Structure 1
Amino acid sequence: MSVAPSFAEPDSPTVPPTPDGHPHIVFALLGDVRGSSRALKQLRVLRALGLRVEVLLTGAPLGARLGEELQLDENLRAHILPNPAGRGPRLFWAAHRQFRAAALARPAALYIASDLYTLPGLTEAARHHKARLVFDSRELYGHLDSTAGRPWVRAVWQAVERRFIRRADAVFTVNESIAERLAQTYAIAPPVVLHNVPERRTVPRTNRLREATGFSSTQPIVLYQGGLREGRGLPALIAAMAQVPGAALAVVGDGPFEAEARRLAAPLGERVRFLGFIPPDDLPIYTAGADLGTLLIEPLTESLRLALPNKLFEYLMAEVPVLASPIPEVRRIVDRFDVGLVADPSDAHELITALRQGLTDETARARWRANAPRALDAYAWEHGAARFRQVILALLAA
């Protein structure tokens, strides 16, 4: 059973010893840690606590070779696993076999599964080594894009999550709506919410984005930032841009929808630029060069409908006004703090009108920029970091 989020941090948060040089924590995720700002933030908290952490990941980050061990600093080591083959459940079970073997070979006091793909393997390792287990439920996995129109795939994800989430000693998730859904669906203690908010930093307004795109100084820049996937409103945004002459669109990110997005954008010529993936730590100086940041998620699945992506907070940190779709968690912040506009990406007229206003209403734009720090104060990563630290220290002390 997962622990309730109200338990207390130890009075003296000292780092417990580990035998034979084993890590305190094994932290696992499917993918390259460089592309996960959420994982990077959590790893920085663990490092600041002086904990020895071994990271299991897939791919070949930092120019490393598969199977290589990377000593990133005194207390942080990464082990690189091959990318699992297949899609959907096939990919899941291929990943499970890899992470299970790697985790079982690494005794630790605490195992952190940073996604559902790694949870079953780390559950077995935690049981085998008599350790504690944490699950970071970043999504409603039974309602991901890949489950749309595929009920049997949805059933597989939900069965896996139902079986293993109850074995975690603590569960994290990304917002209150998903925390409530997980608690109700699986009869667990309310998960601890860690919003996907960037670590606070001062982001000066720069020309890096304009220099990278080649847009002229007279062109207002609309920014799409994030994975290029269906359901993110990019086709609607490109179509709307055609009706806003003079404005330019910068697309930052990569993903399976890129080829189609480029095809749709071709008639706009040099008014649309694709910059590809930019590492999270480098991203803010690009974001700060935009005039309007877009977050046009379409509620194709329940996971998308309840999403609260970190790109919203990346825009706010850079004091970039936001144009967002009316999904509940995002709309709550945009409306409450008055940091931009809300428009339905399925309504072309509404989207075009909002896009024009977002670029030309200078009085509103000044107000939206001025309100951004207040929204960040309410959702600052410092709050989430404190909750994350509290849970980890309590489990290590148990």
Structure 2
Amino acid sequence: MSTLKVFFRSIRWIPAHLRYGLIYLEIWMRVLVRGLAIRPHLIHCHDTPLLPIAVTIAWLCRGKVIYDAHELESDKNGQTRWMAWCTLAIEKFCWRGVDGFVTVSSSILRWYMERFTHKDSALVYNSPVFNRDPVQDVPEFKGRYFHRKYGISEDQLVFVYLGLLGPGRGIETLLKVFTSQEVRAHVVFIGRGSLRETIVNHAVQNGRVHLHDVVPHEQVVPLVRTADYGFCMVECVSLSDYYSLPNKLFEYAFAGVPVLASNFPDIQELVERFQLGLCAVNEVDAIAHAVIRLQREGRQRMTSDIESLGWKAQAERLLAMYQRLTPTNGNVYNVK
């Protein structure tokens, strides 16, 4: 797999809307030329704007297309109405040329199957590789790392928030929760985003709020493992968020850290089925009540068998679809 260097991205003097159009046209032509050179039997398309290109190449090469929707693409956080309409229009226009469909939650899969016609489909979670071997641990993160780093007493719990520090992630709500006098636990935020400065300001005023530097992806699970609980509180700012199964939910699980998560349908179903933790309404009082309850119960570790959630199991589902669509094991062209 290689990355295209797009010429028009570097031309800043062209007006933004025109430049974006030229960028899209350049990508369209270059992906088309490369696709025709490869003549793939199967195209795995990860991005809605590139779906028309994927369908075109498949038609010209008599190949097949898998459309991989990592979210409910036409109804997601931060999307304008115009972009939502364009996304839905592209999906409707190209759907006839799609042979297989992949997505990340049961509700999103059901939404697409009900909105459009049925396709050969697969549910593939956005989960990391599951490895029971503690050799992957980072020496610096051994034991009660967060307690040592922030001078937290052993009898106080540490909750960790992992992911984008932006609107729609419940961060402002969590900051309010940890101002409560009844909440004696600490919270550590790990990530990048527009609310970093807000968290820094709260940390200055509240000794139970902390901001940790971002770590490389391979160190995320070893780092999170040193916390007591993880937060996966998502706001219902879009249908995609409501139906989501965030990556962090799986990262907490593989770290052996119980989660306090939103009571959205797919999240709650997974949390309850695999005993990953506790769900609550995404409101200050409800979350504070849950945190206080966990303070009484103390530190816990997960003991459930979650091997079926790991990437190995997800990859098997994906490979099974590849084999159904291309039984002769032909060329696969990833477009994203």
Q: Please, what TM-score do these two structures have when normalized by structure 1?
A: 0.69
Q: Which is bigger in relative contact order (C-alpha 8 A, separation at least 6)?
A: 2
> Residue 306 of structure 1 contacts residue 328 of structure 1 at CA under 8 Å; is this kept in 2?
yes
Q: Which residue of 1 aligns with 2:86?
A: 156
Equivalences for residues 1-398 of structure 1 within 5 A:
54-56=1-3, 82=9, 96-106=24-34, 107-108=37-38, 109=40, 110-147=42-79, 150-189=80-119, 191-202=121-132, 204=134, 208=141, 210=145, 214-216=149-151, 218=153, 220-243=157-180, 246-268=184-206, 271-276=209-214, 278-346=215-283, 348-362=284-298, 365-366=299-300, 369-371=302-304, 374=305, 376-397=306-327
Residue 296 of structure 1 deviates from its aligned partner by 0.3
Change over 3 Å in CA distance of 1:297–1:89 after alignment to 2: farther
Deviation at 1:223, TM superposition (A): 0.7
Structure 2: distance between partners of 1:275 and 1:339: 26
Cα distance 1:136–1:279, how it changes in 2: closer, same or farther (>3 A)? Answer: farther
Q: Could you say what secondary structure the match of 1:282 adopts?
A: helix
CA offsets per residue over residues 161-188 of structure 1, 9 Å max, x none? 2122332221110011111110111113
* Gap change, CA 1:328 and 1:170, over 3 Å in 2: same
Give the C-alpha shift of residue 279 in structure 1.
Answer: 3.5
Shift of 1:294: 0.4
- What amino acid is aligned across from residue 43 of structure 2 in structure 1? Y
Whether the 8 Å contact between 1:99 and 1:122 is mirrored in structure 2 is no
Rounded to whole Å, the distance in 2 between the matches of 1:83 and 1:392 is: 37
1:239-277 CA distances to partner (integer Å, 9 max, x unpaired)? 11222665332222223443444445442257311423x
Contact 2:105 2:124 in 1 (8 A): yes
Counting matched residue pairs gives: 314
User: In structure 1, the residue corresponding to 2:236 is in which secondary structure?
Assistant: coil
The separation in 1 between residues aligned to 2:195 and 2:22, in whole angstroms, is 24
Structure 1 runs not aligned, ≥5 long = 1-53, 58-65, 68-79
Provide the TM-score with structure 2 as the length reference. 0.81
The 1:288–1:303 alpha-carbon spacing in structure 2 relative to 1, beyond 3 Å, is same
Taking only the aligned residue pairs, the percentage that are identical comes to 22
Structure 1 position 214, deviation (Å): 2.3
1:120-171 CA deviation, whole Å, 9 max, x = no partner? 3333333344433221111111111123xx5333222211121223322211
- Describe the SS at the equivalent of 2:285: helix
Kindly tell me: are residues 81 and 338 of structure 1, through their superposed partners in 2, closer, same or farther at Cα, counting changes over 3 Å? farther
- Whether the 8 Å contact between 2:75 and 2:240 is mirrored in structure 1 is yes
**Mean alpha-carbon deviation: is it higher for 195-204 or for 228-237?**
195-204
Q: Distance in 2 between matches of 1:303 and 1:242?
A: 30
CA RMSD of aligned residues (A): 3.2
| Ranges in structure 2 where 5+ consecutive residues have no aligned partner | 329-336
